[in-house]
Amino acid sequence: MVERTVLDGARVVLPTGVVEHGRVTVEGTRVVADAAEETPTWDLTGHWIVPGFVDMHVHGGGGASFSSGDPEEALTAVRAHRAHGTTTMVASTVTGDLDDLARQAAVLAELTQQGDLAGVHFEGPFISPHRCGAHQPELLRDPDPADVRKLVDAAHGTARMMTLAPELPGGLESVRMLADLGVVAAVGHTDSTYEATLDAIEAGATVATHLFNAMPTLLHRAPGPIAALLEDERVTVELINDGTHLHPAVLELAFARAGADRVAFVTDAMGAAGMSDGMYALGPMRVEVKDAVARIADGPTAGSIAGSTLTLDTAFRRAVTVDRLPVEDAVAALSANPARLLGVADRVGSLEPGKDADLVVLDGAFELVGVMRKGEWLVRPEVR
């Protein structure tokens, strides 16, 4: 017999808006339209129910990294983020030797095929040495289409996105090839001009990797990639809403210009997400986390911000309490928009009959108290 559960009385965020004293009915692994009268009911009055979060840019968490090449370590990172409401995630790699990246991709592809991940995102090595951030400079290379194809093929059909600098030799050709292969081409870690970024968008680029970070600033005579990426309706812009990467006024600017349907909150989290301060690894680099901010510990890029320690429940809470975004806009940025971009919106990203029963329960202060994935409680609310 298929188990049925009714979550009742909460504010429920649906694609049509917020429903006061709403109801979500789960049957097995799916959301359904209704349930029999004898179905057990959870009274969630005073709470919020939102769709499970979708993170399309995350490198690790829980002390573990997706770049390790170890499937058990990757699963540790998956579990760490699920406990914070991210029920769907794409595993991001970090710049490394091509053969090493190919091996990592093969491991992550297997986890994707098992349903633990939603795909692979290659961040580097095809990025600008002038905007490399926490990527190891000596391992960077131009985006030769043959090398780009090698990594895509290594992911065995699970490559979802690749971040590159389109101004580099081979950049536009690689963007076109990625678009033809059904892989999202993302502009990031780039020293591109406004005009070159427009060319990349015309070639098929549809994402701005952590907009504002690791790219030229917006200047009145040289608007650079930021203006091009914000103004084009074909582009979804990633934002890291941790209070470190972006000032609230900049986040407000991005929402005002792009609109709530073109923003995706991401963590860009490394292994320290959900952990205490200390020393961690990010690919081949050592990272020191102090006061929850991750920075490269040594070498030519020492002091550079090295991803984040963010989890998406924190990004959500900050969005609605600090940035004062409407809850519906925050939900779109955390769930619906990335799900649509990744091509999985038929299954996740919103609470609708027939979709996976992936949801997050928040209390009145927007603190996470429950996580359900495919009908199974990963974090069980202490209410009935």
pLDDT of 346 > 90? The answer is yes
Q: 380 near 154, Cβ under 8 Å? A: no
In terms of C-beta density within 10 A (0-12 exposed, 13-18 middle, 19 or more buried), how is residue 220 classed?
exposed
What's the pLDDT at 304? 84
Q: What are phi and psi of 119, to 5 degrees?
A: 140, -170
Q: What is the mean pLDDT of residues 242-248?
A: 95
Q: Which CATH architecture group holds 4-50+349-379?
A: Roll (2.30)
Distance CA 241, CA 152 (A): 29
Give the pLDDT confidence of 303-330 residue by residue, as tens digits. Answer: 888 889 999 999 999 999 999 999 999 9
Give me the chain's average pLDDT, please: 95
Tokens linked to 147: 């090398």
In SS3 terms, 272-310 reads as CCCCCCEEEEECCEEEEEECCEEEECCCCCCCCECCECC
Share of the chain above pLDDT 70, in %: 98
Q: What is the mean pLDDT of residues 151-158?
A: 98
317-347: string of b/e by CB count within 10 Å (b at 16+)?
bbbbeebebebbbbbbbbbbbbbbbbebbee
Q: Which amino acids are annotated as binding site for Zn(2+), given as ranges?
A: 123, 189, 210
More confident residue, 280 or 323: 323
pTM of the shown model: 0.96
Give the pLDDT confidence of 8-57 residue by residue, as tens digits. Answer: 999 999 999 999 999 999 999 999 987 666 777 899 999 999 999 999 99
Query: How is the chain split into domains, by residue range?
Result: 4-50+349-379, 53-342
Q: Which residues are known to be catalytic?
A: 268
Give the pLDDT confidence of 282-307 residue by residue, as tens digits. Answer: 877 888 999 999 898 888 888 888 88
Q: Which amino acids are annotated as binding site for substrate, given as ranges?
A: 134, 213-214, 221, 245, 305-307
Hey, which CATH number is domain 53-342, 3.40.50.410, 3.30.465.10, 1.10.260.40, 3.20.20.140?
A: 3.20.20.140
Q: Which amino acids are annotated as binding site, given as ranges?
A: 123, 134, 189, 210, 213-214, 221, 245, 305-307
What's the pLDDT at 203? 98
Judging by DSSP bridges, how do beta strands 285-290 and 293-296 pair with one another? antiparallel
Judging by DSSP bridges, how do beta strands 53-58 and 30-32 pair with one another? unpaired
Distance CA 297, CA 130 (A): 19
